[in-house]
Structure 1
Amino acid sequence: MRNRYLDLLRFLAIIRVVVYHVTGWATLTLVFPAMSVMFALAGSLMAASLDRSGTAAVGRRLRRLLPSLWVVAAVFVPAMLLTGLALNWRVLLWLFPITDPPANGWGALALSVIWYLRDYLWFVLASPLALWLFRRAPLPTLLAPYVLLLVVELGFPGAPIVLRDFGLYFGAWLLGFAHHDGMLRRLSNRVLFPVAGVLATAGGAWIYTHPGARGYDLNDIRIGNALWAAAFILIALGRAPATAAWVDRNAVLGRAVTVLNRRALTVYLWHMPFVVALTPLVDVVGWSHQDPVGLAIRVVLVFALVGLVTMMVGWVEDVAARRPPELLPGGRRSRPASRGGPTDPAPPTGPTRPTPTDPATLTPADAAVAAASTARLR
């Protein structure tokens, strides 16, 4: 059955990502390491899909993921070609971004969140082998990305970005495997909480002693990010309730959670262009980045514009998932919420696989300088 707690986690993660990109508040990355959480939820889903469909799940996952990207590319790639982007074979990477697709100056900033899809594609392609290894040697497989991250960060800082992101985020993906297989839930409190405490302490110490360009922003501190996020995921998923029926007791909250889960990929892909476009405009009218009222106005405007574009093109996610297209998900037609799971930049999260003992960006740019920065956003 659908676990509304996992829906709620993704709902909160997407909201956190958007608010962070508007405000640039580094504290948000510490309070809720949203990207690692989304990768963990996606890993749990991928394990469930592989159990159901075998390696065919890879193609199905890509079918769910790519059409929304193609809609974005259909709008922005022609605009970039008209404003200086060179037309060559690399433009085809917008169809399948196994590495960063090309972009011109403004496009590199507005579309920099594409890094998530690039990493997601790599993780999906690696999942059949990774799950096979994980179930034969869980702990060594789980530790491998963190060892890779240490080696890359401490010894090879110029390593390819995909390799660095494997070290940073694939550990969270594998924790999603552990969640799906029920391994996290079977850990006793006497094991789970001390392990999470050690990881959080080590991560916090690294973050404190290795501040980045923006202070204690996790996106600038990869080793601290990985350790802190692993501790967060262990608690958030290791003690996840079997359900969260209370989410649907409030009709507004329940509908909002459903809509944002079904349209998470669309919201993720489209929010950054609006953040970039609005930053210079709101500065002109005096809505300062330092002013709480100005920040609130920016957040509201971004969500309003994302809501409009989501109503226009979000139905592509329904078509990709082979659901009847809906303007606004969660209505009468989609009421059987027990089927399927949340949509990700990760699609619906499947149930935990029963076992014999289990019954049941991109470094994100500061919004104040978003229009001028060319950094990758996370």
Structure 2
Amino acid sequence: MRNRYLDLLRFLAIVRVVVYHVTGWATLTLLFPAMSVMFALAGSLMAASLRRSGGPAVGRRLRRLLPSLWVLAAVFVPAMLLTGLPLSPRVLLWLFPVVDPPANGWGALALSPIWYLRDYLWFVLASPVALWLYRRAPLPTLVAPYLLLATIEFDLYSNAPVVARHFGLYFGAWLLGFAHQDGTLRRLGNRVLWPVVLVLATVGGTWLVTHPGPRGYDLNDNPFGNALWSAAFILVLLGRGPAGAQWIDRSPVFGRVVTVFNRRALTVYLWHMAFVVALTPLVDVVGWSHQDPIGLAIRVALVFLLVGLVTALVGWVEDVAAGRRPELLPGGPRPRPAGSVVPEQRRRPVEDGTGVSVGSP
């Protein structure tokens, strides 16, 4: 049975990413460090997969990740080639982006979310070894990415490659997902968890305030502050969050929305920035400045509408990649074979221990 609390976190993270890219509001990164949360959730799922099936989980995870990228590349790579992108063997990186694949001017911005897949690929490939290390030395393994980031940020490791920087920035969140999956975060007593959260938030927040970036207090401009602030956030969300959130499905509409965003998370993430870029000229034509709340609301709505349309067209690829029956709109009632009979005990609601009737699992 799916953990709807984790589904809710993923839904909030994706929505926050889209809204941030439309509005540019730096405060959103502080209120909800979405990318680190997404990596933590992915790390938890990866640890669960490795625990169930070992090494083959890596191949299955890549199989679920890459087809959506290939659909995006099938549309945008020819368009970039026709508008000035040189044809070279590096174009093949769009099939497996272990480093940033080539892009021309407009494509580099419209397809900028590709870095997430690059990092995701590296983290998936590193997970079997990382999980082996984590099981034998949990604390040193958890701390290692943050030490790597510190050596880079304080110029002890100069000219570090982008992949190393992002391992320092986001792999710590991925490993906190490991700690969530094995129950370590929940087993931490309040005397340990809350002081750690306080120290991380204080040091990270102080670093952010004293080292503002070009966009002010935007986490994306401050890797060291980002990593510490996000770690504190994840410890609270996953260490003290509820075990589930079945209340989501008491509203059929909201429950369906959360399900759709989770089943189509990759499609929404990969495509949304292209629509943000495409709608940007409207700022000059219509006068929708970032200080105009109505204009911003319209732009956000338009981006979600366009993302919804492309998701309906190609989102089913995520179903195929996951080995599910393709659906136009995920989360609907599952059809039963003709002539099948639902047992009486399955039709009755069951009590969840609080007097509330819920559907049977």
So what's the TM-score if we normalise by structure 1? 0.87
Match of 2:144 in 1: 144
For the aligned residues, what is the CA RMSD? 1.0
Question: CA separation in 2, counterparts of 1:140 and 1:225?
Answer: 20
Mind listing any 5+ residue stretches in structure 2 that lack a counterpart? 337-361
Question: CA separation in 1, counterparts of 2:26 and 2:290?
Answer: 14
Match of 2:262 in 1: 261
Question: CA separation in 1, counterparts of 2:318 and 2:219?
Answer: 30
Greater CA deviation, 286-295 or 117-126?
A: 286-295
- Give yes or no for the alignment of 1:284 onto 2:288: no
Question: What pairs up with 1:51-200 in 2 under 5 angstroms?
Answer: 51-155=51-155, 156-200=157-201
Match of 1:375 in 2: none
Deviations 1:57-81 (A, max 9, x none): 0000000000000000000000000
Question: CA separation in 1, counterparts of 2:334 and 2:319?
Answer: 13
Query: Aligned AA for 1:82?
Result: L
* Counterpart contact for 2:64–2:321, Cα < 8 Å: yes
Match of 2:229 in 1: 228
Mind listing any 5+ residue stretches in structure 1 that lack a counterpart? 336-378
Q: How much has 1:289 moved relative to structure 2?
A: 2.2
Question: CA separation in 2, counterparts of 1:36 and 1:266?
Answer: 19
Question: CA separation in 2, counterparts of 1:299 and 1:171?
Answer: 31
Question: CA separation in 1, counterparts of 2:244 and 2:173?
Answer: 22
Question: CA separation in 1, counterparts of 2:167 and 2:283?
Answer: 37
1:115 partner SS: helix
* Counterpart contact for 1:282–1:298, Cα < 8 Å: no
Greater CA deviation, 288-297 or 59-68?
A: 288-297
Question: CA separation in 2, counterparts of 1:334 and 1:113?
Answer: 36
Match of 1:331 in 2: 332
**Alignment CA distance shift 1:109-1:116 (3 Å):** same
The higher radius of gyration belongs to: 2
2:276 partner SS: helix
Match of 1:312 in 2: 313
* Counterpart contact for 2:40–2:175, Cα < 8 Å: yes
Match of 2:345 in 1: none
Greater CA deviation, 238-247 or 8-17?
A: 238-247
Q: How much has 1:282 moved relative to structure 2?
A: 3.9
Query: Aligned AA for 1:253?
Result: F
Question: CA separation in 1, counterparts of 2:69 and 2:209?
Answer: 37
**Alignment CA distance shift 1:241-1:334 (3 Å):** farther
Q: How much has 1:186 moved relative to structure 2?
A: 0.3
**Which structure is higher in RCO with an 8 Å CA cutoff and minimum separation 6?**
1
- Give yes or no for the alignment of 1:275 onto 2:276: yes
Question: CA separation in 2, counterparts of 1:334 and 1:158?
Answer: 56
Total equivalences in the alignment:
335
Q: How much has 1:171 moved relative to structure 2?
A: 0.2
- Give yes or no for the alignment of 1:22 onto 2:22: yes
Query: Aligned AA for 1:293?
Result: I
* Counterpart contact for 2:316–2:328, Cα < 8 Å: yes
Q: How much has 1:157 moved relative to structure 2?
A: 4.9
* Counterpart contact for 2:282–2:288, Cα < 8 Å: no
Match of 1:47 in 2: 47
Q: How much has 1:125 moved relative to structure 2?
A: 0.2
Runs of 4+ in 1 over 2 A off after TM superposition: none
Q: How much has 1:283 moved relative to structure 2?
A: 2.5
Question: CA separation in 1, counterparts of 2:207 and 2:250?
Answer: 41
Question: CA separation in 1, counterparts of 2:131 and 2:201?
Answer: 26
Q: How much has 1:146 moved relative to structure 2?
A: 0.2
* Counterpart contact for 1:316–1:325, Cα < 8 Å: yes
Deviations 1:298-336 (A, max 9, x none): 10000000000000000000000000000000001289x
**Alignment CA distance shift 1:60-1:231 (3 Å):** same
Deviations 1:205-242 (A, max 9, x none): 10011101111000001100000000000000001212
Identity %: 81
Greater CA deviation, 286-295 or 159-168?
A: 286-295
Q: How much has 1:9 moved relative to structure 2?
A: 0.2
* Counterpart contact for 1:29–1:218, Cα < 8 Å: yes
Q: How much has 1:38 moved relative to structure 2?
A: 0.2
Query: Aligned AA for 2:212?
Result: P
Question: CA separation in 2, counterparts of 1:273 and 1:163?
Answer: 27
Deviations 1:250-308 (A, max 9, x none): 11110100000000000000000000000013431222222111111110000000000
* Counterpart contact for 1:248–1:254, Cα < 8 Å: yes
Question: CA separation in 2, counterparts of 1:130 and 1:293?
Answer: 47
Question: CA separation in 1, counterparts of 2:312 and 2:16?
Answer: 21
Question: CA separation in 1, counterparts of 2:335 and 2:253?
Answer: 16
